[in-house]
Amino acid sequence: MPRVSAAFFLTGGLFVLTGMLGGMWMGANEDFRLMPVHAHLNLVGWVTMALFGGFYALTAKTYSKRLAWTNYALSLLGVVVMIPMLAVFLLTHNTALVPFMALGETITVASMVVFLISAVREFVRRRPAAEAAEADPMRMAAE
């Protein structure tokens, strides 16, 4: 497994553990004000990170290391900026925090754009004949 994939899984695991512990705290205290934080940590922090890590593991021989690490850095930064700001905003309703949440959201969207560039790059790359035949069932049927 590429190191970038391991980084995505490690970080995602830490985020989901934080989200789970937060969910347990909310349930134990019957205080669900931070439910959006819990949801964002689990979905953006875990699911998205794990999907990114899986993609780069599956494309280990062909992915761009620069794009993958940029994807990781933006994903990490997006969650680290967005989630605490969202938590404080939900607890205080301080609208001065909205631009900081928006910054985190923008960074997170940028990470998805970088991922999509990686996915398009993988989709359009030239493949050796054996790999191309395996990836194209219509071509296999014709042969």
- What are the pLDDT digits (tens) for 28-48? 999 999 999 999 999 999 999
Whole-structure pTM value: 0.87
The answer as to whether 31 is a domain residue is: yes
Nearest to 36 by CA among 84, 77, 70: 84
Beta-carbon-side half-sphere exposure of residue 101 (alpha carbons within 13 Å): 17
For residues 1 and 63, what is the distance between their CA atoms, to the nearest angstrom? 12
- What are the pLDDT digits (tens) for 82-130? 999 999 999 999 999 999 999 999 999 999 999 999 999 999 998 877 6
- What are the pLDDT digits (tens) for 46-91? 999 999 999 999 999 999 999 999 999 999 999 999 999 999 999 9
Q: What does the pLDDT read at residue 18?
A: 96
Helices (H), the chain: 3-29, 35-40, 49-58, 65-92, 98-124, 129-135, 137-142
The answer as to whether 99 is a domain residue is: yes
The domain tally of the chain equals 1
Nearest to 9 by CA among 43, 51, 70, 71: 51
Enclosing domain of residue 114:
3-126
